Structure formats: C-alpha cells, structure tokens
Structure 1
C-alpha cells in the first residue's frame, strides 16, 4: 500500500468518527463505559470474523505471539484514551474538557516530528493550528470559555487523554510490522476492561428499541472499523497530514447532526469549515504535490 493510500485509509477513520456523536445521541441513557464495553466487543468480534475468514486461525495466533509492549500500547491507547475522556467529562464541564481533549491532532503533528523521519514543516504546524481553531469554534459555538481551578482535575484528565491518543498513534509507527488484525485483540481486551470499569463506576441500563441499532452502528463504525483504518494510516501514512486532517472529525460530526436535525447551522460552523478545510489542505500540500506528480 502506498503512503498516500494509507493516509486516505486513516482519514477514513476520521470520517467514521464523525458519526460518533449522532449514534451516541441515539443510544439513549446507556452509560458511557457500558456503551464502550458493548461497542468494543462488537468491533472486536467483527474483526475476529474478518481476520479468521481471510487468514484462518493464523490471525489469532499472530495476536497471541505479540510481545507485551505491543499489547500495552494497543490496549492502553484504545481503552486508556476513552476511559480518561469519560472521567474528564465527569470532572469538568463538557465544552472545556472536549476542547482540551481535542489537542490530540495537534500533538500528533508535533510528536511525529520528534519520533519519526517525516519531519515537521511550517505548513504542517500552521495547518494543525488552523484545524484546532476550527475545532474550538465548533466545540464552543463561537463563545469564549473560561477555565476554572475548581475543575483542574478534569482538565488534567482531558490533557492526558489527548497525550495518550497522540502517543498511541505516533508510537504505532514503531511497530509497523505488527499486522492490523491484532487490533482485534486490542478491541476485545478494551471491551473487558471497559466492562470492569462500568461495573465499578456505573449502573447498568438495558438499551431499548432503536438504541440497539445505534450501539450496533457504533460498534461497526466509529468504535470498530475506524480503529483498523487508523492503524493502517498511522503505520504507513503521512502522520502530520493525518494529524491536521483529523480536525475534520468535529466538523463532519456537526454537519451530520445538522443533517439529522439534531443541531443548528451557525456562523461559527461556517467559519470552522473554512478553517479546518484550509488547515487540512495546507498540511497536505506535500501529499497533494506527490499525487499530482504521479
């Protein structure tokens, strides 16, 4: 797979993540950790079926033979990020916590320059900052936000969540030889850990009617296939471009909510669209040139 194709695969994960808000809204009152346990289980089981159908039980053996640092990285990334984000939303106002957590695309751009040979150029950084400005407009609705010392623990959790996901994404490049099928094991392990955390922190709520379809949609898409596509992108694609382009997730998510009648179109959304699109195009300048040359 070429670098450009892998980058596009990674962006496919971003597109799937844009459905996260809509499906989560439709999942009703199911607590977040319970929802994660169910969705990780669905994504993991689908990955298992797909892996065994393509490669037989070698797909399972490959996962079992991976050294423990690979498992720490994969399970820590998937489960660690989501657990920290849920805890951050419990300890701080959602707007501020979400804005801090959405530093991860910018951190990917920065970390990639330190740990890979991709190199960090001015247009990568400028594109990432434009994307963050656009994401900030979407999260805040164009209104300023104030950080309160009373919620410092929640802000810290959100920042650590951003570091964890960015670290997982960039360090995955170091284990590029690990088959993407192993993400199946990460999802199943994350499902078990999410279930344990749910039983310790939440009350179980049985989904009703259409909520089951929303949970299935989450498990198949943004909390399932997306992780496999992201694995391909971060291992073989252009990390700075992926980082900047990831800011399209809150924009696409908001557009999906507007189309579904769950949100209103505003001036802030229009400006955010320009900032995020412009930032992604700026960061992807080298990739677009490679495509044009090809």
Structure 2
C-alpha cells in the first residue's frame, strides 16, 4: 500500500512542477536521495507499522509529538538553546505521551503496546529529523517534494520486490486516497496557505488537526475515544504551545 501511495504523491508533485515549467536536473537534486530515504520511505514505513499495532487515536496522538521533538533537535543540532518555558513545554508534552501510552496508568508505567508506542514516537522523531535536514535545502518546496517522493518510491519499490509486491484492488484504492490526501494535496494546500496568509495564523491551525482527527476516527473508524487519549493529547498540545518559538 505504501508503494502505491508514494507513487500517487510523486505523480501529483510531478504535475505541479510541470505546470509551473520547472526544469529537472538529477545532479542538483541528489540531496533528495537522502531526504527521500527519511521521508516518505522511513517515516511512513514506521508510521504505518505503528497504526497496524495501535488504535488509530493512540498512534496519531503520539505521532503528534513531533513539534516537541523538533524543539529538542533544534537545540541539539542548530544551537538554539531551550528557554525555561520551552523546556517545561517539552516535559509537559512527553508527559502527555506517557498518559496515552499507559492509558492513564502512570503509577505502574505499564504500556498497553510497547512496540506500537515506540514506533509511533519513532515516527515523530523521524519527521522532526526530516524537518531539520529540510531546513538546509534551499530549493522550492514543490521541487523538493517531487524528488523526495521520487527517490522514496524507489526505496519502497526495492523493499516491495524483496518482500513480494501484492496486488489488492481495494488496497490500491485506499493507497491512492492516502497518496492524494494524506501525502500529496494536503501538503500542497498547506504550503499555499503559508504563502498567502500570515505564517503565525496558519501555524495556529495545527492545534485543530489532532482534534479533528479524533472526531474523524470516532465517526468513521468507530473507535471509542478514551479519556486517557483526550488528557494525553491536551497535554501534548499544551506542550507544543509552551515550546513553540515565536
């Protein structure tokens, strides 16, 4: 499924670049061979495995710790020291992750699914790492995304050949949907919003994303949203708010 989703996104980004008349140079875009390994290959491989082991509400909430991890990485790798408020935000955010992973049972620190929780948090780590490396790439966003997904699709294809590619018509339809709306068009719309509106106003909308996701998961997937998920997600969002750099 990941292969078809990635190929769908690649085609979308290719279409955008062709429409804008950009010329492609493989030599200039070799950096994407590295970035494409991180995202989409490694990131979605880890994230999809997390979703296969955890309830959707838990996986998406833990994945949403990436802005907090990004603050830590910015301090460690970009030389941006943490303020007291940011440090407190990091602590609060990871406390929220503990609440979700333990289903509120903090006293025993007993995780319902340790591997799934580790994968969901790892996906957040991979995404934050991707953003750090992406900051050093001066190319246009649409161009970067096309080449990242181009190389990422090659890695996914190689893995699929090793594991054996399965053709499931229903699975392919789902993959095309994910590639279009999860990986492709939504990212482009986000970029356009950042270009047309004040970045601070647009960035504030990210706080709505996990909440709307929970509503979607409850209605469409039919999961009963746990109180521990709501509490943990609230702590994560508070942590993001506190650790956010102006």
> With structure 1 as the length reference, what TM-score do the two structures score?
0.61
Match of 1:269 among 216, 229, 232: 229
Change (3 A) 1:70 1:48: closer
Match of 1:167 among 129, 134, 145: 129
Change (3 A) 1:141 1:187: same
Which residue does the alignment assign to 2:140? Answer: 179
Give the Å deviation of 1:115. 3.2
SS in 2 for 1:178: coil
Which residue does the alignment assign to 1:193? Answer: 155
Change (3 A) 1:261 1:221: closer
SS in 1 for 2:169: coil
Q: Which runs of 5+ in 2 are unaligned?
A: none
Give the Å deviation of 1:222. 1.7
Give the Å deviation of 1:131. 2.8
Residue pairs, 1:65-80, within 5 angstroms? 65-80=27-42
Which residue does the alignment assign to 1:126? Answer: 88
Note if contact 2:85-2:243 (Cα within 8 Å) is conserved in structure 1: yes
> With structure 2 as the length reference, what TM-score do the two structures score?
0.71
Change (3 A) 1:263 1:138: farther
Note if contact 1:138-1:251 (Cα within 8 Å) is conserved in structure 2: no
Aligned-pair RMSD on alpha carbons? Answer: 4.0
Match of 1:260 among 215, 220, 227: 220
User: What is the total number of aligned residue pairs between the two structures?
Assistant: 232
Change (3 A) 1:85 1:212: closer
CA displacement 1:20-58 (0-9 Å, x = unmatched): xxxxxxxxxxxxxxx1111111111111111211x21x2
Residue pairs, 1:92-171, within 5 angstroms? 94=54, 104-116=66-78, 118-143=80-105, 144-146=109-111, 162-171=124-133
CA displacement 1:160-215 (0-9 Å, x = unmatched): 6554432221121122x11112211211222232122123225514123xx55533
Give the Å deviation of 1:255. 2.9
CA displacement 1:47-73 (0-9 Å, x = unmatched): 1111211x21x2x42x52425334313
Match of 1:220 among 180, 184, 204: 180
Residue pairs, 1:221-260, within 5 angstroms? 221-227=181-187, 252-260=212-220
Residue pairs, 1:14-25, within 5 angstroms? none
